[in-house]
Homo-oligomer: A and B are copies of this chain.
Amino acid sequence: MSRLVMKFGGTSVANVERIRNVARHVKREVDAGREVAVVVSAMSGKTNELVGWCKEAAPLYDQKEYDAVVASGEQVTAGLLAIALQEIGVPARSWLGWQAPICTNDTHGSARIESIDGAGIIDGFSRGEVAVVAGFQGVHKESGRITTLGRGGSDTSAVALAAAIHADRCDIYTDVDGVYTTDPRVVPKARRMDRVAFEEMLEMASLGAKVLQVRSVEVAMVHKVPTYVRSSFDDPANPGEGTLICNEEDIVEAQVVTGIAFSRDEAQITLRRVADKPGVAAAVFMPLAEAGINVDMIVQVVSEDGNTDMTFTVGSADYERAYALLEKIKDDIGFASMAGAKDVAKVSAIGIGMRSHAGVAARAFRALSERGVNIRAITTSEIKFSVLIDEAYTELAVRTLHSLYGLDAA
C-alpha cells in the first residue's frame, strides 16, 4: 500500500469552506487506497494576528511563550480538518506536535526537528485512520515546552514527517500549480517545470523562489523524499499536474539552466580603503557572524597603494544593524569610509547542467552588458551563478537571462 504525506498551507485552509475542500482532496487519495498523513498550516492571517498580540503584550516577547501562543493556529486547523474528514466518511484524528511527538531542539521560534516518532500515526493507518498533523510546531522533550519551526515551517514538518514514516511522496499543496522557470508575474513566458532536481530546487529556494521553504528542500534532499508541488485550487475530483522535486537521475532531459531566481531583499555595503593585511577579512566578517548577520556575496578590489575596497551583501532586514555594528568597530578593522545601498537586487541562474558546460555564466555577463545592466558583484557555485545589480534593472535582467537560456514558453 502506498503512503502519502499531503501538506496544505494557510490560503488552502483559510476558512471552513476551504478546509472542506482540502478534505475532498484527502478523500480522493484515501479512496485510491493510500495511507495518508496531512500536515496543515494555520488559517491564513491567524499567525499574523497571534504574532501581533505577542508584540502588543511586549515588544521583546519571550520566545517560549510566543511558541505556545502561535502554535495554537495549526492546532485549530488540525482539529477542524479532522472533523471535516469524519463528516465525509473518512476516519481521521488530529496530532499536535507534542502528541506525535515531533521532537525539536530548544531554539524557540526557529527550532529544528531532531526526530519524529511516527509509531502512533502508523498505528492509526492500520485502523484506516488519516493522521492530521499540526505543522510548524514541535516539542522540546527535556523541557516539555512547545516549539515552532519559524515561518514557513509547515513545509519542513511535512517533508520530515514523510521521511519519518517512509512515505512514497510528499505533496505540497499551495496557491500555485508548481515550480516555474522564474516568477510568472515578471516573465509571462515562464513555464511550469515537470521535474526539478533537489539541488536545483535548493538553490532556487535559497536565491529567492518563494514556493518552498529552503529548510524543507534540504530535508527532502537529505532523505530523498520525492516532493510534489501542486495547486490546492484544483478540482479535488480532477486535479492538474504540478512539479516533482526528485533525484537528478530521475530527470531524463536535463537542461543547462533550469530556472532564474531573483531577490530584492539584498543590501550592499562597501568599505573603502581597508588595509590589505592578513586577518582583515576576519576582522570584518567575524563580528557580523557573531551578531547573526549572514554575509552573501563578497568582492575585494585591491588598489595600487596597497589598500583595498571591500564590497559585500547582507539581507536588507539586517542592513541597518550591520551598518551600525561596522561603524562601531571601524577602528578595529581600519577603513577610511563606508557606503551602503539598499536598492540592489540579486539575479541568479540555476542548473545542474552547468557542471558539464563551460562558459554558461560568461554568456550571461555579455548579454546583460549589451542591455546596459551594470554588474556590481558576482558569485558562482557548481550549479548556479548570481549577479548583483541595481534594483531598477531586475525585470530586464531576469527576462534577458530567461530568454538567453531558452526557458521561454513557445
User: Which chain B residue shows the least CB distance to A52?
Assistant: B16
Contact residues, A35-81 vs B (CB, 8 A): 50, 53-54, 56-58, 61-62, 64-69, 71-73, 75-76, 78-80
Does B99 lie within 8 Å of A83, measured CB to CB? Answer: no
Q: Is A149 an interface residue when CB atoms closer than 8 A count as contact?
A: no
In angstroms, Cα B98 to Cα A146, docked, is: 11
Does A80 lie within 8 Å of B98, measured CB to CB? Answer: no
4 other A-B residue contacts (CB within 8 Å) besides A50-B76, A58-B87, A66-B83: A57-B84, A58-B86, A65-B83, A69-B75
Q: Is A82 an interface residue when CB atoms closer than 8 A count as contact?
A: yes
Q: Is A346 an interface residue when CB atoms closer than 8 A count as contact?
A: no
Of B54, B64, B75, B87, the residue contacting A80 (CB under 8 A) is B54
The answer to whether residues A57 and B98 also contact, given A69-B80, A72-B75, A83-B62 and a CB cut-off of 8 A, is no
Binding site for B on A (CB under 8 A): 16, 19-20, 50, 53-54, 56-58, 61-62, 64-69, 71-73, 75-76, 78-80, 82-84, 86-87, 93-94, 96, 98-99, 144-146
Does A78 lie within 8 Å of B68, measured CB to CB? Answer: yes
List residues of chain B with CB within 8 A of the CB of A98.
98
Of B20, B64, B75, B87, the residue contacting A68 (CB under 8 A) is B75
List residues of chain B with CB within 8 A of the CB of A84.
57-58
A331 to chain B, nearest CB (A): 37
In angstroms, Cα B68 to Cα A76, docked, is: 7
Interface centre among A20, A64, A72, A98 (most CB of B within 10 A): A72
Does B53 lie within 8 Å of A80, measured CB to CB? Answer: yes
